[in-house]
C-alpha cells in the first residue's frame, strides 16, 4: 500500500479508522446477482478442494447463494464463534490501519462488488473476495488467533522496517496457502477459494511448485500479484501456522538480513517438495 495514500487520510465519508457503513439496502438486484453467480461457481468447485475448516465456516456463517450478505447478520454469527467482526472499508487501506484492525479482531472488507464483466479478475479486493474468501476461516479458532497475531506482528514489522518480509507470510498463507490433510492437499487461502481458475490451478495444474511451509523460506520468497502463483506453500496444520507466528520475529528479521531472496520458481535442497512444477504456465504467460 503506497505511502501517499496513507498520508492523505481516509476518503470523504469514511471514519478515522477508514471504516464506512455497509449500507446493505443500497445493493442493486444486479449486484446481488453477481454474488449469486460467483457463489454458485465456487460452491460447486470447493467440496474436496477446500479444507474442512473453510467449508465448515462457510456453513456456520450461513453464507449461502441468496445474495450479498448483510454484515449485521454475518457478524452476529462470526462474533459468537471467535470474537471477530467484519467492518466495511472503501477499498485498500493503509498497512497500519489494516494491521490495527486485525490486531483487534476486525476484518476490513471491501463494500463494493465487482462488475459482471470482471468475474475473474480485479485489482482491489471486493466483498466477494473479502467475505467469501476470508471470513469462513475466521470461524476457526486457531486461524482466528493467527490473524490476530499477524496484525500485531504487522504493527511491529512496520516499526522495524520489515514489512516486505511479513507481507510475504500473509500472501503465502492467508491469500494463497495450501493445507496438508489425510485426504490430500486442500486450499485455505482466500485468493484461491475466491478464484474459479486458481482453485483448480493451485491443486491440479502441473505448472506450479508446491513446497512444505517454512517460515523463513516463505519470507525470502517474492510473489506475483498479477497472475496465478508459481509456488504454493503447504502447511502441515493450522496450529503450526499459529505457533510459528506467536514467536518473536525480531531475531528472524535479523537472520533475514543475511539471507538473499529465493527466486520465485526455485527449489532449494532444504525444501520439502510436494510437487516439482514444470512452470509451463508461467513461461507461457511472461509479459
Q: Which residue is it, cell 442493486?
A: 28
Taking the complex as a whole, the smallest distance from the CB of residue 165 to ligand HBI amounts, in Å, to: 11
**Which residues from 120-139 bind ligand HBI, rule CB under 6 A?**
125
Nearest residue (beta carbon) to ligand HBI: 98
Maximum Cα–Cα distance across the chain: 55
Taking the complex as a whole, the smallest distance from the CB of residue 91 to Fe ion amounts, in Å, to: 12
Q: How many CA atoms lie within 13 A of 118 on its CB side?
A: 14
Q: Collapsing DSSP states into helix, strand and coil, what is residue 109?
A: strand
Q: Please work out the total of residues on this chain that contact Fe ion, with binding judged by CB under 5 A.
A: 2
Closest CA to 140 of 73, 79, 84, 57: 57
Closest CA to 136 of 100, 111, 107: 107
Residues 167, 216, 262, 266: which binds ligand HBI (CB under 6 A)? 167
* Piece of the chain touching ligand HBI by CB under 6 A; list 37-45, 49-57, 92-100, 177-185: 92-100
**Which residues from 4-63 bind Fe ion, rule CB under 5 A?**
none
Length of the chain measured in residues: 287
**Which residues from 125-144 bind Fe ion, rule CB under 5 A?**
125
Taking the complex as a whole, the smallest distance from the CB of residue 134 to Fe ion amounts, in Å, to: 6
50 binds ligand HBI (CB under 6 A): no
Residues 89, 190, 215, 242: which binds Fe ion (CB under 5 A)? 190
Closest CA to 53 of 211, 193, 150, 166: 193
Q: Which residue lies nearer to Fe ion by CB, 174 or 277?
A: 174
109 binds Fe ion (CB under 5 A): no
* Helices 238-246 & 141-160 angle (0-180, nearest 10): 30
* Piece of the chain touching Fe ion by CB under 5 A; list 18-26, 98-106, 120-128, 274-282: 120-128
Residue 108 touches which of ligand HBI, Fe ion, none (Cβ within 5-8 Å per kind): ligand HBI
84 binds ligand HBI (CB under 6 A): no
The contacts of residue 117 (CB under 8 Å, 6+ apart) are none
Q: Please work out the total of residues on this chain that contact ligand HBI, with binding judged by CB under 6 A.
A: 10
Q: 179 with 188: CB under 8 angstroms?
A: yes
| CA gap 68, 36 in Å, rounded | 8
Q: Collapsing DSSP states into helix, strand and coil, what is residue 20?
A: strand
Q: 209 with 202: CB under 8 angstroms?
A: no
| CA gap 211, 271 in Å, rounded | 6
| CA gap 56, 173 in Å, rounded | 19
Residue 95 touches which of Fe ion, ligand HBI, none (Cβ within 5-8 Å per kind): ligand HBI
93 binds ligand HBI (CB under 6 A): yes
* Piece of the chain touching Fe ion by CB under 5 A; list 19-27, 139-147, 165-173, 185-193: 185-193
Residue 190 touches which of ligand HBI, Fe ion, none (Cβ within 5-8 Å per kind): Fe ion
| CA gap 68, 63 in Å, rounded | 9
Q: Which residues bind ligand HBI (CB under 6 A)?
A: 1, 89, 92-93, 95, 98, 108, 125, 167, 170
Q: Which residues bind Fe ion (CB under 5 A)?
A: 125, 190
Amino acid at each position: 500500500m503506497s505511502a501517499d495514500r496513507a498520508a492523505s487520510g481516509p476518503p470523504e465519508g469514511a471514519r478515522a479508522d477508514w471504516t464506512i457503513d455497509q449500507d446493505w439496502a443500497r445493493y442493486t438486484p444486479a449486484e446481488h446477482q453477481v454474488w449469486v453467480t460467483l457463489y454458485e461457481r465456487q460452491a460447486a468447485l470447493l467440496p474436496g478442494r477446500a479444507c474442512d475448516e473453510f467449508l465448515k465456516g462457510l456453513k456456520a456463517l450461513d453464507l449461502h447463494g441468496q445474495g450479498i450478505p448483510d454484515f449485521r447478520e454475518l457478524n452476529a454469527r462470526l462474533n459468537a464463534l471467535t470474537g471477530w467482526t467484519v467492518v466495511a472499508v472503501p477499498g485498500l487501506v493503509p498497512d497500519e490501519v489494516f494491521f490495527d484492525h486485525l490486531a483487534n479482531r476486525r476484518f476490513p472488507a471491501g463494500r463494493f462488488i465487482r462488475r459482471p464483466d470482471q468475474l475473474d479478475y480485479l485489482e482491489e479486493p471486493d466483498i466477494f473476495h473479502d467475505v467469501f474468501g476470508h471470513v469462513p476461516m475466521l470461524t476457526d479458532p486457531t486461524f482466528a488467533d493467527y490473524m490476530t497475531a499477524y496484525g500485531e506482528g504487522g504493527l511491529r514489522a512496520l516499526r522495524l522496517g520489515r514489512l516486505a518480509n511479513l507481507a510475504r507470510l500473509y500472501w503465502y498463507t492467508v491469500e494463497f496457502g495450501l493445507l496438508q490433510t489425510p485426504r490430500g492437499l486442500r486450499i485455505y487461502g482466500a485468493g484461491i477459494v475466491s478464484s474459479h481458475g486458481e482453485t483448480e490451478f493451485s491443486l491440479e495444474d502441473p505448472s506450479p511448485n508446491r513446497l512444505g511451509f517454512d517460515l523463513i523460506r516463505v519470507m525470502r520468497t517474492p510473489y506475483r500479484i498479477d497472475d496465478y502463483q508459481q509456488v504454493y506453500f503447504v502447511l502441515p496444520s493450522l496450529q503450526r501456522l499459529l505457533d510459528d507466528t506467536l514467536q518473536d520475529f525480531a531475531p528472524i528479521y535479523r537472520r533475514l538480513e543475511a539471507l538473499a531472496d529465493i527466486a520465485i520458481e526455485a527449489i532449494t535442497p532444504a525444501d520439502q517438495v510436494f510437487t516439482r512444477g514444470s512452470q509451463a504456465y508461467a513461461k507461457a504467460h511472461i509479459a
